[in-house]
Amino acid sequence: MAELENYAELKFTNAVLIDIFSRYASNSEMAEFVASDGSIDMKFKMINGVMETPKCCEQVLSLMYALFECNPESAIGRIYSAHKVDILRETVYRLAMVLDGFSDVKLTIHSTAADKNDPEKKVSTHTEFTLKQSKTSETKVIE
């Protein structure tokens, strides 16, 4: 995707989403976006210009499905398009587990637009966003 001027890279770990998509994809299709360490690593062209960075796991999930919808030529986009109703139904059914399953979400947005001072020139921006979820808790005993 180096030839694209506007694209997003999304990398995260979520075993529940892998389980959901594995019901509708072959092993070779899954290997196109699931790395050997179990992380999901994808690049998507952006439609409709610049996107906002998500602030929570719910927004990551929404952004992810929007990117799948806009990129039906990618492996995961093809799987999503072919089984959208079933994938969304299972995602909603297992929503709490899906949201808890996100770990170390990294979103990188690459965008290029005309310079507002000189329309002949293009200005590129590179935005990185990381969302870490902690599963630790603290219990205090009060006597």
- 5 contact partners, CB below 8 Å, separation of at least 6: 110, 111, 112, 122, 124
* Whole-number Å distance between alpha carbons of 29 and 139: 43
Rounded average pLDDT per 10-residue block, the chain, 143 residues: 71 92 93 90 74 81 88 90 96 94 86 81 83 64 63
Helix residue spans in the chain (DSSP H): 15-22, 27-31, 57-70, 75-82, 84-93, 95-101
pLDDT at 82: 95
Please give the pLDDT value at position 1: 44
- Note the pTM of the prediction, 2 decimals: 0.77
What is the C-alpha to C-alpha distance for residues 7 and 123, in angstroms, rounded to an integer? Answer: 14
pLDDT at residue 50 in the model = 54
Cβ count within 10 A of residue 114:
11
